Amino acid sequence: MRLVILDNYDLASEWAAKYICNRIIQFKPGQDRYFTLGLPTGSTPLGCYKKLIEYHKNGDLSFKYVKTFNMDEYVGLPRNHPESYHSYMWNNFFKHIDIDPNNAHILDGNAADLQAECDAFEKKIKEAGGIDLFVGGIGPDGHIAFNEPGSSLVSRTRLKTLAMDTILANAKYFDGDLSKVPTMALTVGVGTVMDAREVMILITGAHKAFALYKAIEEGVNHMWTVSAFQQHPQTIFVCDEDATLELRVKTVKYFKGLMHVHNKLVDPLYSMKEGN
């Protein structure tokens, strides 16, 4: 497990974007070889998406041969609702890059048969050859995707009832009106994300500090589902200083001492431009 600690949110977002960019380019994607990327929503990844759009607009990065699978979607929210995760992904990322819409997979929270939709999503991931890099964020209660506290650590894509903490956290997107916040969602399981060849989890802000502590300094625990990634062979936690406030000084010092190694993963930043 790697813990990458940057000074602030913007630098953490940039490091994550550089890492994704380098992984895609080093993979050498093509017509018969797609890079498969798992993607999150929420406020944390926005800075990362902005940097990836910037790399694309500069001609350094193409998503033509990238397939994406999103972590989750609300149940019962119209697809074109401004707070649906379909809307979020298209407005904040997809419409600004050259991805083929057929290669951007998002769960349908309005499907007639929700379990069949979840099973089909798992099948699509398998048919794509599995996920090369799954990027995720976490909630203050340590949940990844909508795998709320108490979720099975071997769970697959399924229908989940949202915890009150999550509903409260999401109320800000619905004018603070709890009655407008969806109470159910379709989500990839912890096991689904664990199957990815690599996992990168973005954690920023002091309100996520206790969750980061639970994720890396304590044992694996289904009440803090992000802790499962201690057992993944290729996990990178990318965080800012504020998110480390609950960690032991010794832990922070240890991982900061490895930053010269971690920075080699993003420096130099590769480019798809000829000759680079």
Q: What is the pLDDT of residues 115-134, one digit of tens each?
A: 999 999 999 999 999 999 99
pLDDT at position 77 over 80: yes
Q: What is the CATH number of domain 2-265?
A: 3.40.50.1360
Q: Which of 14, 72, 122, 132 is catalytic?
A: 72
Q: What is the pLDDT of residue 239?
A: 98
Average of pLDDT values for 239-243?
A: 98
- Nearest CA to 166 out of 149, 189, 190, 151 is that of 149
Average of pLDDT values for 70-99?
A: 97
- Residue 211 CB: number of other CB atoms within 10 A? 22
Is 195 a residue of the active site? no
pLDDT in tens, 212-221: 999 999 999 9
- What's the burial of 209, exposed, middle or buried (CB within 10 Å: 0-12/13-18/19+)? buried
Q: Which of 14, 117, 148, 195 is catalytic?
A: 148
pLDDT at position 276 over 80: no
Q: Which of 143, 232, 240, 262 is catalytic?
A: 143
Is the distance from CB of 149 to CB of 222 less than 8 angstroms?
Answer: yes
Q: What is the pLDDT of residue 275?
A: 52
Q: Which of 14, 141, 195, 242 is catalytic?
A: 141
Residue 158 and residue 145: Cα distance in Å, rounded? 11
Residue 53 and residue 12: Cα distance in Å, rounded? 16
Is 72 a residue of the active site? yes
**Single pTM value for the model:** 0.96
Q: What is the pLDDT of residue 202?
A: 98
Is 143 a residue of the active site? yes
Is the distance from CB of 201 to CB of 226 less than 8 angstroms?
Answer: yes
Residue 239 and residue 16: Cα distance in Å, rounded? 9
